Structures are given as C-alpha cells and as structure tokens.
Structure 1
Amino acid sequence: MSKNALKSNFSPLNSEGSPSRIPNSPIVTPSINSNDNNDRTANDRVKVILRVRPPTANDERKRTSPLEFDPAKPNKLVLHRPDAPVTHTEFEFDRVLPPGATQQDVYLSGVKDVVDDVLKGYNGTVMAYGQTGAGKTYTLGNIQPQAIGMIPRCAAEIFYQASNDPFHTYSVSMSYIQIYMELIQDLLNPQSDNLVIREDSGNGVFVAGVQEVPVSSLEECLHYLAVGEQNRAFAFTHLNAHSSRSHAVVMLTVVKRRRYLTPAEKQAEKKAEREGVSTHKVKVGKLYLVDLAGSERLKKSKSVGQRATEARSINLSLTTLGMCISARAMDDKHVPFRDSKLTRLLQESLGGNAKTTLLVNVASAQEHADETMQSLSFASRAMCVKNKPVVNERVDYKILHAELQSRMDKENDRASHLEVALSKKEEALDDAMQAAVANEKARFEAIIAALQRENEQRVAHMHSEMEGVRELAAHEQAHRNSLEKRIKELEVEKANMAEKHYNHVAMLNAQIADLLERQAEEATAHRQAAQAAALEMASAEATMAQKEAENERLRNEMGKMQQEMGVLASAHKSTLAALAKLRQSLEAAMPDAAAAAPTVDRQRSSDLPPLTYRPDQSRRAPVLRQSSEPVRSSAAAAAAAAAA
C-alpha cells in the first residue's frame, strides 16, 4: 500500500462517530502547556482499562454472558460463574468499557494521558493483555478507517502536537520488534533475528542493535507499521483465525528541544558558558506500545506440533509477567524480570521509570469465564504496581559539539592574528616605534568599530525576533479568541438542540399516552366481546347437552321397541307352529276327509289375513290382528266332520 493510499484511508472517528481527517481535525484537540514538569506526582500506579469484546455469532446463538455491568458505576463489573465455589465476583478498575465502546473511548480513557506525558519527557507504556481472540491486536494495531487502533492514534497525536508547538522542535524515531519463542527479531530488518537486551545508566533497558528509523509524518509511521505486520508471526487456531504467535512492541522515541529561552534561562546559559559548562539539554520521551500474544488452553485451541510449542512459550512468558507483577504489587525484594525476554524489556514499565496503562481485553462468553477470571485477577494485581516516572533530560551533544568547534576556530583565528601582529611589531620595532604604536591604535579602533557595528546588528536582529514573537503571540491570542467564540456558538447550538430534543420527547410522550389510551379502549372492547362470546358458547353447550340427552332417550326407546318386536315375532312363530300342530291333529282325526282337506286347507290358508303392524302414536308395542271368522268356520267344519 502506498503512502498516499494510507493517508487517504486514515480517517479517525470523532466523538459522534463521524470520520475526520488528521491534518485538519486531529483525533483529540491538544492543549499546549510550556510547563512540562508539574502535571503529575512522582509516584504513579499502573492504570488499568478493561474492555469487553462484543459477542461473536457463536456467542449470540448461546445468548449467555458471565459479565454484569452497572451503568451507574462505570468502573465496576461482576463476573458470574455458576459452577465455581464463588458464584459471582465483583471487580473495580480505572474504567470498564462495555461491548459497545468505540476505539476513541479506549484512547480517551487511558492512552491519551500517556502520549501527553511522553511529549513532556516521560517514558510511557501502553500494553494490551488478554486471552487469544479477545481483541488485543484489533485495539492496538488496527488501521481500518472505521475503527482506528491505538498505535495510529498515538502517532497522530504526537505529530499533531509537534506541528502546533511554536516553542519547541521535535524529532521522532520508530522501532518495531517481536519476541518469538524467546528470540527478539527486528520486524523492520528481519535479518536481525537474535537481538539482545542491554542496560546502562543513561538509556536504561534497551534492545541493542535494533533499527531505529526517523519518521517525520503519520504516513511514514503507518508505512513502517505495515512493513512490520508483514514480518510478524500469525497462525490459525480454533479460537482465533488470525492469532498472534509472538509479543510485538512498537517503540516511538520523541526528542524535544527548546526554540526560545526565557531571560532567566539566558542568564543561566551565559553563566554556564563562563564556567565552561554546557546547559543545552533536550527531553527524551519513549513510548512502548506492547501487543502481547494471547494466552490459550491447548484443549480449546486444539494446537498441535509447532502451534503447541508456540502456545507453551507464550503461556510461560505471560506466567513470568504475572509473577513479576505479583512481586511488584507485594513490594518483594526479588522480582524475576530476567526469567523472560518480555519481562526484561518491560522492567521499567512495571514499577520503574515509566507511566503505564494496561488495556485488558476479555470475551463476553460463558465458555471463557475461567479465562476471563484469570485476566481480571491479573488486572487487579497490576493496579497495585507503583511506578516512579521522571523527566528524561540529556545533554544535546550536537549543539555541544558545534559550540566546542566554534570556540576552537575562534582560538585558532586569534592565535594566527597574534602571530601576524607579533611579526609586524618585530619588523617595525627598529624603524619607527611611534608609527607602530599609531598603527596598532588605529587597528584597535577599527576592531572596536567593527564590534560596535556587530553589536548593533545583533540588537536589531533581536528586535526583529521579538517582533516575530509578538506577532506569534498576537496570532495565538486571535486563535484563542476564535476558539472561544466557536465554543460559545457550540454552546448556543447545544442549548437549541437540547430544547428541540425536549420538545420532541414531550411530543413522543403525548403520542405514547394516546396510544396507551386507545390500547386500553381496544382492550376493554375486546374483553366485553370475549365475555359475550363466552356466554353464547355456554348457551350453545347447554343446548347441545339437552339435544344429546334427547337423542340418548330416543335411542333407549328404539332399543325397547326392537326388543318388543323380537318378542312379537317369537309369539307369531309359536302361533304358526300351534296352527300346524292343530292341522295335523285334525288330519289325523278325520282320515275320511283327507282328500278334501288339502283343497279346503289351501283355500283357508289363502283366506287367512296377513299379520299387520300398526304403529301406535303413544309408542306402544305393535298389535297383531287376524280375522276370527275363518277360524270359526274351520272349527265348525272340523266338528261336523268329526260327527259324521
């Protein structure tokens, strides 16, 4: 990616979330303060900022989070672990940022103060700690326009304040290293892969042989940051598809020089020059931006082979870091900084000459509750570590070398002039002593005149410089007045917006009241309709019950009628059988009339009326009716036959 592309893509977000360009509107508007030494106390503890990663898609499906936030207490949270002996634990830090916090919220909470102190000559450290996949690299090194990380924001802040400070000049240099498997590699010069850590009284703890490139703009910083990212070790694990396999450290060194001196400082400098002592000093601030590799459990990350070896090395160095912080928190005499390259490099940041901010990243998922508990405990111990930062002032050896060279040249010129004058005096001493004295006097007068002219020119130059300073001060005052005017306009605009907001809220409240009233009326009508429907339903059910009882009664009567029909059918059969027997007996009694009997019987049987069923209106049993005359005639005939 080219520098122009980096510049066009770099657009940090302001407090409202809208993009803004670095050259015109910086991330945070700085304040120039010439008094750099009286802002903080000598003993500063480590500042801890907790950031909770937003839930991933897998976390959304589970919909469980072990963390509980209280909006009224922005520096506290509660961790819930139902399966642990202690089910819930409360923690308190300098600031707790919920999942919805932006990158600018992180920067303003604890990073900007460190950058301001670095510009005043202090050493500063911003360190990201947490389990793998919790968002450490995203928080520190992201360069996407919608979520710019802390490293680009710090570089932008440094260059912005340097360009707006008329009283000092700044020079910035950058280094970028990684600690991979206890080997220190220069990411800007990958061939240097086994650097060593040194320590001296002037520079403190430093990496010997690391390439330190000068940078003069934000674009150059982003370019070298991209170069280092290409050389850094990343790998895929089941917990993070782009997992950092090394600890990365970006080091920004800021050298601050004074442009103008106050009258008291000028007098002190002149006195020191008379005594032969150089008072030209500069302030050197170093900013360490540390992206720690994430701790991981092998059974969760499922790392094997080289990935497992890397994970063990990372966990060992982080364990050593925790031991060092615990020892510092308890003021132990022995702190095991030399047990790891990481702790050795961060020795000044943990209880030494530095102002440190620890960014702790945790995941809002129940399955990572144990790792979150470990990170929160680490952060609580880190808050007990106290640092002793001091302003780093050094002699400006460039200016000292120039002064010594100028003094040497002046002494050489003076010696040469004295030799020439001595030779002339010796030649003219014998000829004319008075002429030599007159010439010497004239030469001295010329020298005095030249010195007077030089002094007048110097005074005129100083007057011109003072006019420039006055114009600069007037420009600054005009700029301040314009800013105050703009602040007043913004306050008026804010009041107008607040009034509009209140009116809009009142209108919404009225609409809500109307909606609630209509909903109440609809609910009443719906309740009355439901009651009427319930009454109709009860009446219908009662009618159906009556009809069902009537049907049951009819079915019972139908059964009884069928039984009576069966009884009548049996009686009919028995009557027919009796008639058949009667006929047989008559045939046996009257053998002489046997010939005529069949004809008579057939005729009589044809004359018998059929059985008829007459339904009764009162549902009584059917009545069998048969004519009695044929029977009586048959009986008379049978009697006559018997008499014959």
Structure 2
Amino acid sequence: MQADTFAYARVVVRVRPFTDEEAKVCPEDSPVPREIVVWDGNRTLTVLDATNEFLPRKNGKFEVQKVMWSFVDDYQPSAVVHKQKDVYDAIMKPAIGRILDGQNTAFCVMGGAGSGRVYSLYGNSVDGLEGGILPRFTDEILAAFKREKREDSTVKCQVEAIDVSNETYVDLLSPKRKPGANAQQEYKLVLDPVEGTKLQGVTRVDVQKPADMLNIVRQLSQVVPKRNSCHTVTLRIVESFQFTDPEQGQAVTMSRRVNVLFALLRNMPLGFQRCVDIAVERDSGENPLGKVPTRDTAFTKLFPDLLQHGYHLNFLCCVSPFYEHVRETMQTLTVATKLSKLKCSPKRSQDEALVQLRTLAAEVKNLKSEMVKQSESTKIVQNELNARELALMKQEAAHHECRNKLLASSERLSIARTAFKLNVIRTTVHRKKFQDSVSKLRRALADVEVEKDKADANMVAASRETGEIEKRILHTNRQIKTQEEVNAVCEEKVQKRVDGETKLKKILAFLNASPEERLRLIEMDVEAKEQGRAEEEQLEKEMAKITKELEEMEARCRAIEKEFESVHQKEGVTREKVDLKARLSSMEKDIAGKEEENRQLRIQAETKSSGCQCVTM
C-alpha cells in the first residue's frame, strides 16, 4: 500500500454469490440466472440493467479502491473467488500496526438488505474458515499486544456492544437484559475528559484472553441477525506503563488508550447520509469550512469523532449481484466512491510525556542490554585468556613430556645399536649353518630324484607286466568261452545220438513185447518221463546256481582289479606283482574247478535218460 493511502479511508467492495433461491430465478428475457454486477478484474465494477438486455446502466460504472469478488460463476470456473480470510487480509491486516501504535480505528460494514453484511462481520461460525472479520481480529489483536508488550507494562481490554435504533441505545451485554426482550433502558451520553463521549452506565466486559473475547462474539453472533438496527462493538484497549520517578523515587503510572470500533450500518437515517456528504465536501476541498452535524443522528452523537478525523476509517461495502437488488447495489457503490474521499488523521490518546518516558524506558532497556553484552564480552575475553593460559600450560607439559621421550629414545637407540651388532654376528653364524644345511638337502634331493627315476622305471615295467597279465586273462576268458561253445555243440550231438538209440531200443522192445508188457513199458515210460522232468528241473536250478557263482566270481575279479590298482599305487610294483600272480593262480584254480563241475554235469546229463519218445502203435 502506498504511503499517502493511509491519509484516506480504506474502502473495500465485496460482491457476494447467489443464494440457493436466487440461483433458481431467471430475470425477464434471460434463460438462465445472471448477475447484474460485472468486475473487470482490477478496480472497476459495472452495474447491468436487467430490463435492457443486461447492458451497462447509465452512471453504472464505479471505480473503487479494492474489489473482493466472492461471486461463484459456473461458466467461469477459473475466476478468482475471495473467501473470508482474503477479506480479512485486505481490510484488517493493514490496520493492525496503526492500532498497536495507539491510533483509533473504525471498521464499518454497510450495504443493502441481504448483501452479506452480517456474514462478513461475524460469519456462519466464529470458529473455523467461515469466521468473519470480527472473530478473526479479536484473536489476532490480543496476541499482537502481548507480543509487543514492553517491560513494566500491562494491557487491559474492555468490550461494549450497543445497538442504535432511531434515537435509542440498547446494551447487548447487559446482564439484566433477557434475550428477545423489547424493554429499553435510557442511557445518557456524557463527555469524559479521558475517554471522550460515552454512554453512562453501559456494560463493559473485561477480556483477559482471546477465548473470553470469542465467547462474547459468539453470544453477539446469535443476537445480531435477529435485529434490524445499527450494531456497534467497541474494544477499549488501555496500555499502562509504570515508571520510577528518579527524583522522588516513587512509582509513576501513565497510560495510553486506543479504541477499535466495529459498526454494522443498517437502517441508517437520512441525517447520517447528510453527515457523510458534508464530511466528503470538507475533505475533498469543495467546502473546507463545512462542519459535520454530529447531533443529527444517535450514531454520530455516540461516535462524534468518526467523521471528524478522529478514527482511521475502513469501510467494507457489501453488494448483491441479484437483479432485484439493483437499487441497493447502486446506492452502496455510490456511497463507496464518496467514502474513499474521507481523510483520516487520528491523534494518539495518551498522557503527557508518555512518549518521552517510553523512549527513556527503551533507552534504559537498551543500556541494560549493552551492559549485558559488555558483561558477556568481558566474560568471553576472560574465558579466552583462561583458555590461552591453559593452552600454554598444556604446551609446557607437552614440551617436558617430549624432552623425557627424547632422552628415553636416545637410550633405546644406543641399546638398539648394540643389539644390532649382536644380531649381525648371530646372523653370520646362522647363515653359515643354513648354507651347510642347504647343501645337505640338495644332495639328499639328488639321491631322492635318482631313486624316483628307478621307481618310475620299475613302475613302467610293472605296468607292462600288468598289461600282459590282463591280456592273458582276456585270452583265457576267450578260450573258456570258445570251449564252452564247442562243448555245447558236442553235447547236443551226443544227446541227439543217445536219444535216437534209446528211442530205437524202446521201439524194438515195444514191438517184440506182448500186450501186457507193452502196457507195462508204457507205464514205465511215463514214470521215467516224469522222473526226467524232475531231474531236468534240478539241473536247471544247479545251472542257475553255477551261473550266479560265475557272476559273483566276475564281480570278485573286478573288485580284485580295483584293489590291485589301489595296492599298485600305495605299496609298490613288487608286492603288487606277487599279489597279482597269487590272485591269478587262485582265479585259474577256481576256473578249473568250475570247468570240472561243468564237465561232471555234462556227463551226468548224458547218462540220464530223457524219457521214452516212442509212439504207441
């Protein structure tokens, strides 16, 4: 904000959105609901004529200081919509500093019926995001005074709420007043030399913390919407300072006062409009000598300094975009352009010499701070000196320690030199012994290599002999297999011949025998045939047993070969050769035994009769 803006009243125009009922009503010749106020996005508001195809009205363009656009347009979703916090930041934030500086400040909310005045002042709820400018301000101003509180100072805040109806005043905080009562008490206006004009006997409630103020605001927010009169809430803040008189040594208390006025301007009489017009003419230079007739209305009687440069003025002008409220909207915007011309130059309400004493108190506080800083500096210097002295002592101790270490190192060095000489002598002796032992080891290694060569040669010879033995074993196995095949052929021929002779004898005997003998021969033949079958089964079992023993023998041979290889690697060629020959002779004996058993079995098979093969004639 520019510096010269502080000399003029601050005027903010807020355009509310449609209500649910208004959003369903369409103006004449319009298929959809339309607003009658258009914002250019800067400082210009234009009022449209709903009866003339929504063209701009004559004298319907207004330049205002700031616009808070709260209208929600479904056809422009990207348009800026200002919330309650945005309105508070625009109109209340700039005034906090002036209030802390002790300047009286007024916040006036005005507009037509249904323009959102009560919502802007109180909100739907004093807590949360929907809170108006008054509950938000009460929470921040007390915290600001506490934050700016000086030494030996106290802050006291009192609240009074008065409704102005025609020429009467209603105390909304009176404990005797019942909710909804219409009885009115007569209050008398008096001129206090310290506080100025005030109502005698009106209720003032002390506020110690923001929670107390919020309780009062919550109570008022439930009463104000039900009334239709001008509503005011005044915060009277007194900051007291206590000093000590240097001459008499007595405590002196001085104070400064600041009044913060919140006014909801409703049903204002024509006299108030006349007061505003005269104040505008005076401040704009049209009538510099004009005197505001504050005695014309009860509101200006109660606050005579409001339009006579006694307050910093802040106006929140609420307008409705609904086409039926066009007259109230035009009036509100017209008044808003006038109010921006009002000048504000309030004087601080404080005791004489208070500023000087506060300055002296600040200087004393600064001197105390300087003393503390100097004391801290002295302490820092002393600590630095102590640290340096301690560092010197540590350096001296380190020097002494280094000297002792140097002497000890010299002694150790002389001892090390003597030990080095002894080590040289000892090393020479050990080197000679080591060279002798190395020579012996080399000779022994040469002998071992010669023996190794001999052993390798013997191993090669043994390997050759082993190969020859294996070849002999393979040759023997082949001979055995060949002999078995020859024996099988011979046995088959012998068996066929024996069978033929036996068959021939049986046929001749059968032919020469009598019938009884033939019958007996047939019976004997059947018995012999059954006996032969039993013997054949017994022979097959014995052959299977022999075959199994041969397989076990072959497995033993393979195991013996593996043992032979392992023994050959571990115990040497000579012993392996002897064992191999012994095992080979044992195997040859076993093979000869098995061949003998086979031969006996063949003889037995040849001698056995295979049964009668004749055919009974």
Using the size of structure 1 for normalisation, the TM-score is: 0.46
Using the size of structure 2 for normalisation, the TM-score is: 0.48
Larger-gyration structure (1/2): 2
